[in-house]
């Protein structure tokens, strides 16, 4: 087994005392960020990214992956203790987690969430390890035509599966792509869209500026508007007896948890889908197949386990296309990808050949992060109860300062800080009007790749636009892309004709 020896080499990197320390710091920070209502993994990664300059790149990505991981665990904490999902990915956890807390079983619910997250995380990391190298091998044969087709496919899944208004999704994708062209044209070297010849625009708009603006400042503005009254924190105490009882209860839920893990992993791999729909789907399936389905929504422990396994598995799943193909599956992985580019690493299949230490170090760190997260999570439950009582204004003030200083640090230009401000206010307004932000960030990160691969293909093929459909793989991707793209319009046409006067039901939203 070649994979095992590679993984063993990876553990040599990730088990170094320094990286172990980084993982523990990362999951702890992630747990707190995830537990704060309103702040999820994407906000945490966006706010912390500028601070990662302090460690070398291979540790920085481990740190961010650990935060991502920790935030997935943490999301459940406020779902259970406050009844408000800590992140959109933990929405389904409130359905049964909150009733359990109200029945006085908050401790049991938290243990269930932590154990379920651990199982989901572990199964999906094993799947990740098995799939990563073969997928990277396939991706090695990709030329610019396949790259373009794959990026196109990633965008159209947002239109087809995103669940948001199709027109608004298309607007956000195109806005991200247009913003990604600001600066010098890669091929001709001419400056483009440098609004009013402002020198700050010559270097383009950094994904970090957009991410800190929309997910940092914008999120704070959104939370200020929506959180008028402080929510009530349910107390939770954990004793060893309760821990033992919880583990015993969880032991009987293997079917739900393994189903949730596989489902989460594969749904998470799809761009546009990801952790939130995976968790909701897993909850739905668990409810349908459970023997005690009538108690779902009233505090059934299975209803906590199902979504929590799926959202953790999905977060690992969405790392797979990012690392092997260089195409992120979610806004958080888009930020990780942007970070890697910033540190001089090129994500994609070549990374497996050129930087095997880095890749396998990262993969093995997911195993250690998983162990660290479950231990820290259960150990720190009393601290979470205390931290959730922290007035929201204190958190907001500190996040705003971090956005300003963290936005200034990478480029050291005030221009970027003003852009963050503009994106913060603009992102808040767009979100209010139901425009999805995830495709915007993804388009800004993938825009340069998309444009470059499109133009490279056409230059290589002397302007023959059919080049994209003449190669079998790229033709398949384009075919799927067209299918995803027309899907919502066909569905809208059919349902529109059927129930022109009825109120259409809104599908779950993904942020």
Partner 1 sequence: MLLDKVIAGALVLLSAYMMSHAILLPIGWNGETGGPGGGAFPFWCSLIILICAVFVIFRPARSYEADQFTFDREMMGPLIQVIVAIAVTIALIPTAGAYVAIPLFLFWYLKIYGKHSWTLALSITMLTPIAVFFFFEATLKILLPKGITEPFFFPLYAMFF
- Residues contributing to the site for partner 1 (CB under 8 A): 51, 53-54, 167-168, 170-171, 174-175, 177-178, 181-182, 185, 187-188, 190, 192-195, 217, 221, 224-226, 228, 391, 393-394, 396-398, 400-401, 404-405, 408-409, 412, 414, 417-418, 421, 424-425, 429-430, 432-435, 451, 454-455, 457-459, 461-464, 503-504, 506
**Shortest reach from residue 79's CB to partner 1, in Å:** 23
List C-alpha distances in Å: 150 to 9, 20, 140, 314, 473.
Answer: 31, 35, 13, 20, 9
Closest to partner 1 by CB, 398 vs 483, is: 398
Which is closer to partner 1, CB of 289 or CB of 464? Answer: 464
Q: At its nearest, how many Å lie between partner 1 and the CB of residue 103?
A: 32
CA dist 270 and 267 (Å) reads 6
Residue with Cβ nearer partner 1 (138 or 414): 414
Alpha helices by DSSP H, listed for 388-461, are: 392-411, 414-432, 438-460
Please write down the long-range contacts of 343-349, taking CB distance under 8 Å and 24 or more positions apart: 343/57, 343/60, 343/61, 344/57, 345/57, 345/61, 347/322, 347/323, 348/139, 348/324, 349/136, 349/137, 349/139, 349/140, 349/142, 349/324, 349/325
Which lies closer to partner 1 via its Cβ, residue 341 or residue 458? Answer: 458
Least Cβ distance, residue 468 to partner 1 (angstroms): 12
Task: Work out the angle between the directed axes of helices 438-460 and 331-342 (0-180°, nearest 10).
Answer: 60
Give me the least distance between CB of 393 and partner 1, in Å please: 3
Least distance to partner 1, CB of residue 25, Å: 14
- C-beta of 77 vs 442, nearer to partner 1: 442
Residue 211 in contact with residue 335, Cβ under 8 Å?
Answer: yes
Q: At what angle do helices 240-251 and 301-317 cross, to 10 degrees?
A: 80
Measured from the CB of residue 448, what is the shortest distance to partner 1 in angstroms? 10
Least Å distance, CB 100 to partner 1, is 30
**Between residues 168 and 298, which has the closer beta carbon with respect to partner 1?**
168
Q: Which is nearer to partner 1, 183 or 321 (CB)?
A: 183
To which residue do tokens 């389905």 refer? Answer: 293
Q: What is the Cα–Cα distance from 212 to 217, expressed in whole angstroms?
A: 7
Where are any strands of DSSP class E within 107-196?
183-184, 191-192
Q: How far apart are alpha carbons 37 and 78 in whole angstroms?
A: 6
Q: Please, what is the minimum distance in Å from the beta carbon of residue 476 to partner 1?
A: 23
**Tell me, what DSSP letter sits at residue 217?**
I
DSSP string, 478-495: HHHHHHHHHHHHHHHHHH
- Please say which residue, 49 or 114, places its beta carbon nearer to partner 1: 49
- Asked if residues 250 and 258 have their Cβ atoms less than 8 Å apart, the reply is no
Shortest Å, Cβ 455 to partner 1: 5
Residue 79 CA to its chain's centroid (Å): 18
Distances (CA, A) of 12 to 133, 173, 222, 288: 19, 41, 43, 44
Pick the closer one to partner 1 by CB: 18 or 254: 18
Residues 279-292 as b or e (16 or more Cβ within 10 Å = b)? bbbbbebbbeebee
| Shortest separation between residue 220's beta carbon and partner 1, angstroms | 8
Question: In terms of CB distance, is 1 or 497 closer to partner 1?
Answer: 497
């Amino acid at each position: 087994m070649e994979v095992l020896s590679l993984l063993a080499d990876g553990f040599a990197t990730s088990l170094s005392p320094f990286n172990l320390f980084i993982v523990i710091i990362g999951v702890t920070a992630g747990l707190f960020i995830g537990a704060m209502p309103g702040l999820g993994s994407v906000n945490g990664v966006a706010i912390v990214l500028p601070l990662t300059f302090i460690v070398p790149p291979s540790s920085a990505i481990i740190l961010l992956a650990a935060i991502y991981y920790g935030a997935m665990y943490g999301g459940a904490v406020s779902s259970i203790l406050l009844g408000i999902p800590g992140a959109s990915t933990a929405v389904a956890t409130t359905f049964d987690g909150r009733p359990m807390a109200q029945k006085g079983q908050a401790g049991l619910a938290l243990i269930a969430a932590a154990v379920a997250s651990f199982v989901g995380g572990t199964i999906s990391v094993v799947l990740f390890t098995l799939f990563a190298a073969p997928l990277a091998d396939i991706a090695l044969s990709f030329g610019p035509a396949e790259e373009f087709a794959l990026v196109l496919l990633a965008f159209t899944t947002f239109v087809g599966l995103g669940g948001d208004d199709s027109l608004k999704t298309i607007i956000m994708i195109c806005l991200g792509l247009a913003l990604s062209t600001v600066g010098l044209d890669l091929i001709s070297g001419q400056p483009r869209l440098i609004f009013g010849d402002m020198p700050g625009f010559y270097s383009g708009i950094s994904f970090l500026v957009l991410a800190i603006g929309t997910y940092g400042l914008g999120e704070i503005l959104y939370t200020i508007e929506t959180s008028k009254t402080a929510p009530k924190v349910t107390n939770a105490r954990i004793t060893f007896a309760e821990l033992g009882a919880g583990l015993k209860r969880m032991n009987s839920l293997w079917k739900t948890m393994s189903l949730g893990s596989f489902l989460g992993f594969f749904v998470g791999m799809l761009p546009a889908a990801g952790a939130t729909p995976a968790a909701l789907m897993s909850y739905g399936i668990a409810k349908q197949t459970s023997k005690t389905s009538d108690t779902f929504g009233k505090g059934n422990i299975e209803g906590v386990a199902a979504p929590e396994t799926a959202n953790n598995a999905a977060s690992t799943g969405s790392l797979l296309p990012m690392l092997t193909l260089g195409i992120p599956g979610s806004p958080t992985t888009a930020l990780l990808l942007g970070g890697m580019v910033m540190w001089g690493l090129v994500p994609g299949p070549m990374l497996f050949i050129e930087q095997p230490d880095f890749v396998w170090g990262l993969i093995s760190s997911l195993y250690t992060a998983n162990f660290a997260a479950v231990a820290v999570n259960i150990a720190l439950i009393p601290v979470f109860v205390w931290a959730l009582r922290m007035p929201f204004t204190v958190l907001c003030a500190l996040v705003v300062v971090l956005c300003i200083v963290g936005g200034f640090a990478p480029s050291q230009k005030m221009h970027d800080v003003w852009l963050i401000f503009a994106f913060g206010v603009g992102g808040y307004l767009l979100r209010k009007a139901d425009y999805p932000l995830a495709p915007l960030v993804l388009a800004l990160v993938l825009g340069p790749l998309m444009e470059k691969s499109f133009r490279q293909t056409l230059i290589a093929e002397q302007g023959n636009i059919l080049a994209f459909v003449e190669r079998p793989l790229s033709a398949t991707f384009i075919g799927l892309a067209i299918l995803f793209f027309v899907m919502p319009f066909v569905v809208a046409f059919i349902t529109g004709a059927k129930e022109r006067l009825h109120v259409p039901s809104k599908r779950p939203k993904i942020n």
